[in-house]
Protein backbone atom coordinates (compact mmCIF):
# COMPACT_ATOMS: atom_id res chain seq x y z
CA UNK A 1 0.00 0.00 0.00
CA UNK A 2 1.42 3.38 -1.04
CA UNK A 3 1.70 6.41 1.22
CA UNK A 4 -1.02 8.17 -0.79
CA UNK A 5 -3.42 5.24 -0.32
CA UNK A 6 -2.65 5.26 3.41
CA UNK A 7 -3.47 8.97 3.63
CA UNK A 8 -6.80 8.48 1.82
CA UNK A 9 -7.66 5.58 4.12
CA UNK A 10 -6.86 7.66 7.21
CA UNK A 11 -8.97 10.55 5.91
CA UNK A 12 -11.92 8.22 5.31
CA UNK A 13 -11.53 6.71 8.76
CA UNK A 14 -11.54 10.20 10.29
CA UNK A 15 -14.73 11.09 8.39
CA UNK A 16 -16.43 7.90 9.56
CA UNK A 17 -15.33 8.51 13.16
CA UNK A 18 -16.61 12.11 12.95
CA UNK A 19 -19.99 11.01 11.60
CA UNK A 20 -20.33 8.31 14.25
CA UNK A 21 -19.47 10.89 16.95
CA UNK A 22 -22.17 13.26 15.64
CA UNK A 23 -24.80 10.48 15.56
CA UNK A 24 -23.86 9.37 19.08
CA UNK A 25 -24.01 12.97 20.37
CA UNK A 26 -27.43 13.58 18.80
CA UNK A 27 -28.78 10.26 20.12
CA UNK A 28 -27.36 11.02 23.57
CA UNK A 29 -28.94 14.45 23.75
CA UNK A 30 -32.29 13.11 22.52
CA UNK A 31 -32.32 10.13 24.89
CA UNK A 32 -35.30 9.90 27.24
CA UNK A 33 -34.23 11.15 30.64
CA UNK A 34 -35.88 12.00 33.91
CA UNK A 35 -37.37 15.50 33.74
CA UNK A 36 -35.89 17.94 36.23
CA UNK A 37 -38.29 20.11 38.29
CA UNK A 38 -37.14 23.20 36.35
CA UNK A 39 -37.90 21.48 33.02
CA UNK A 40 -41.29 20.47 34.36
CA UNK A 41 -42.04 24.03 35.43
CA UNK A 42 -41.01 25.26 31.96
CA UNK A 43 -43.24 22.70 30.27
CA UNK A 44 -46.27 23.47 32.43
CA UNK A 45 -45.87 27.26 32.22
CA UNK A 46 -45.41 27.14 28.45
CA UNK A 47 -48.92 25.67 28.24
CA UNK A 48 -50.52 28.28 30.52
CA UNK A 49 -51.73 31.65 29.25
CA UNK A 50 -50.50 34.79 31.00
CA UNK A 51 -53.76 36.36 32.23
CA UNK A 52 -52.77 39.97 31.54
CA UNK A 53 -50.99 39.42 28.20
CA UNK A 54 -52.05 39.13 24.59
CA UNK A 55 -51.53 35.48 23.71
CA UNK A 56 -48.27 35.00 25.61
CA UNK A 57 -47.54 31.98 27.74
CA UNK A 58 -46.62 32.31 31.41
CA UNK A 59 -43.15 31.05 30.51
CA UNK A 60 -42.58 33.70 27.84
CA UNK A 61 -44.18 36.70 29.53
CA UNK A 62 -42.17 39.21 31.56
CA UNK A 63 -45.35 40.48 33.31
CA UNK A 64 -45.59 40.47 37.09
CA UNK A 65 -48.74 38.32 36.96
CA UNK A 66 -46.90 35.74 34.86
CA UNK A 67 -44.04 35.75 37.37
CA UNK A 68 -46.48 35.12 40.21
CA UNK A 69 -48.18 32.33 38.24
CA UNK A 70 -44.78 30.78 37.60
CA UNK A 71 -43.92 31.01 41.30
CA UNK A 72 -47.13 29.19 42.11
CA UNK A 73 -46.29 26.44 39.59
CA UNK A 74 -42.79 26.13 41.11
CA UNK A 75 -44.35 25.73 44.56
CA UNK A 76 -46.89 23.15 43.38
CA UNK A 77 -44.19 21.14 41.60
CA UNK A 78 -42.12 21.17 44.80
CA UNK A 79 -45.18 19.97 46.71
CA UNK A 80 -45.38 16.98 44.39
CA UNK A 81 -48.62 17.88 42.65
CA UNK A 82 -49.32 16.30 39.29
CA UNK A 83 -49.39 18.32 36.06
CA UNK A 84 -53.12 17.89 35.87
CA UNK A 85 -53.67 19.12 39.42
CA UNK A 86 -51.56 22.22 38.78
CA UNK A 87 -53.28 23.11 35.51
CA UNK A 88 -56.71 22.37 37.00
CA UNK A 89 -56.03 24.85 39.79
CA UNK A 90 -55.70 27.62 37.20
CA UNK A 91 -58.61 26.27 35.15
CA UNK A 92 -60.83 26.42 38.23
CA UNK A 93 -60.22 30.17 38.40
CA UNK A 94 -59.91 31.15 34.75
CA UNK A 95 -61.66 28.38 32.84
CA UNK A 96 -60.29 26.60 29.76
CA UNK A 97 -59.18 30.01 28.46
CA UNK A 98 -56.06 29.85 30.63
CA UNK A 99 -54.82 26.74 28.83
CA UNK A 100 -53.06 27.63 25.58
CA UNK A 101 -54.04 24.33 23.96
CA UNK A 102 -57.80 24.01 24.40
CA UNK A 103 -58.86 20.62 25.79
CA UNK A 104 -60.61 18.25 23.41
CA UNK A 105 -63.48 17.36 25.73
CA UNK A 106 -65.31 20.68 25.90
CA UNK A 107 -66.82 23.37 23.70
CA UNK A 108 -63.32 24.55 22.88
CA UNK A 109 -62.82 21.26 21.02
CA UNK A 110 -64.50 23.11 18.13
CA UNK A 111 -61.18 24.92 17.68
CA UNK A 112 -59.66 21.56 16.74
CA UNK A 113 -62.65 19.99 15.01
CA UNK A 114 -63.79 22.81 12.71
CA UNK A 115 -60.55 22.95 10.66
CA UNK A 116 -60.58 19.15 10.32
CA UNK A 117 -64.23 19.21 9.25
CA UNK A 118 -63.48 22.04 6.78
CA UNK A 119 -60.58 20.04 5.38
CA UNK A 120 -62.78 16.95 4.96
CA UNK A 121 -65.55 18.93 3.25
CA UNK A 122 -63.00 20.64 0.99
CA UNK A 123 -61.41 17.30 0.17
CA UNK A 124 -64.80 15.78 -0.65
CA UNK A 125 -65.64 18.69 -2.95
CA UNK A 126 -62.25 18.43 -4.68
CA UNK A 127 -62.62 14.62 -5.03
CA UNK A 128 -66.07 14.98 -6.54
CA UNK A 129 -64.80 17.66 -8.89
CA UNK A 130 -61.96 15.46 -10.11
CA UNK A 131 -64.19 12.43 -10.65
CA UNK A 132 -66.91 14.26 -12.56
CA UNK A 133 -65.97 14.73 -16.25
CA UNK A 134 -66.11 18.34 -17.45
CA UNK A 135 -69.44 19.17 -19.09
CA UNK A 136 -69.40 18.77 -22.89
CA UNK A 137 -70.66 21.65 -24.97
CA UNK A 138 -74.09 20.88 -26.43
CA UNK A 139 -74.03 19.62 -29.96
CA UNK A 140 -75.20 22.15 -32.56
CA UNK A 141 -78.44 21.27 -34.38
CA UNK A 142 -77.79 19.67 -37.82
CA UNK A 143 -79.47 22.59 -39.60
CA UNK A 144 -77.02 25.05 -38.04
CA UNK A 145 -74.05 22.84 -38.96
CA UNK A 146 -75.23 22.62 -42.54
CA UNK A 147 -75.71 26.40 -42.74
CA UNK A 148 -72.25 26.98 -41.32
CA UNK A 149 -70.63 24.57 -43.79
CA UNK A 150 -72.43 26.23 -46.63
CA UNK A 151 -71.24 29.65 -45.52
CA UNK A 152 -67.62 28.48 -45.18
CA UNK A 153 -67.74 26.98 -48.63
CA UNK A 154 -69.18 30.21 -50.02
CA UNK A 155 -66.52 32.34 -48.39
CA UNK A 156 -63.76 30.00 -49.58
CA UNK A 157 -65.09 30.24 -53.07
CA UNK A 158 -65.08 34.03 -52.92
CA UNK A 159 -61.73 34.02 -51.04
CA UNK A 160 -63.14 36.47 -48.49
CA UNK A 161 -61.73 36.88 -44.99
CA UNK A 162 -63.83 35.12 -42.39
CA UNK A 163 -66.21 37.56 -40.63
CA UNK A 164 -68.59 37.14 -37.80
CA UNK A 165 -72.08 38.46 -37.93
CA UNK A 166 -73.65 39.48 -34.67
65 binds another protein (CB under 8 A): yes
112 binds another protein (CB under 8 A): no
Q: By C-beta, is 29 or 93 nearer to another protein? A: 93
Please, what is the minimum distance in Å from the beta carbon of residue 138 to another protein?
Answer: 21
Q: How far apart are CA 156 and CA 166, in angstroms?
A: 20
Query: In the window 7-46, what residues touch another protein (CB under 8 A)?
Result: none
Cα→Cα distances 138→43, 87, 102, 155, 166, Å: 65, 65, 53, 26, 20
Alpha helices, DSSP H only, in the chain? 3-29, 37-46, 64-78, 83-94, 110-131, 142-158
Stretch that binds another protein, among 5-13, 29-37, 89-97, 156-164 (CB under 8 A): 89-97
128 binds another protein (CB under 8 A): yes
82 binds another protein (CB under 8 A): no
Cα→Cα distances 81→34, 38, 51, Å: 17, 14, 22
85 binds another protein (CB under 8 A): no
51 binds another protein (CB under 8 A): yes
Q: What angle do CA 65, 70, 73 make, to 5 degrees?
A: 130
Q: By C-beta, is 64 or 159 nearer to another protein? A: 64
Query: In the window 140-159, what residues touch another protein (CB under 8 A)?
Result: none
Check if the beta carbon of residue 12 is closer than 8 Å to that of residue 18. no
Check if the beta carbon of residue 39 is closer than 8 Å to that of residue 77. no
Q: By C-beta, is 83 or 108 nearer to another protein? A: 108
Binding footprint of another protein on the chain (CB under 8 A): 51-52, 64-65, 68-69, 71-72, 90, 92-95, 97, 121, 125, 128
Amino acid sequence: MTARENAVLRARAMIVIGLVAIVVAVAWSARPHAETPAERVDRITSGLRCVVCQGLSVKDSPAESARQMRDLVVQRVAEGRSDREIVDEFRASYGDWVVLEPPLLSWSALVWLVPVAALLVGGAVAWRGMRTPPPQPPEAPPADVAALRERVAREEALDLPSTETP
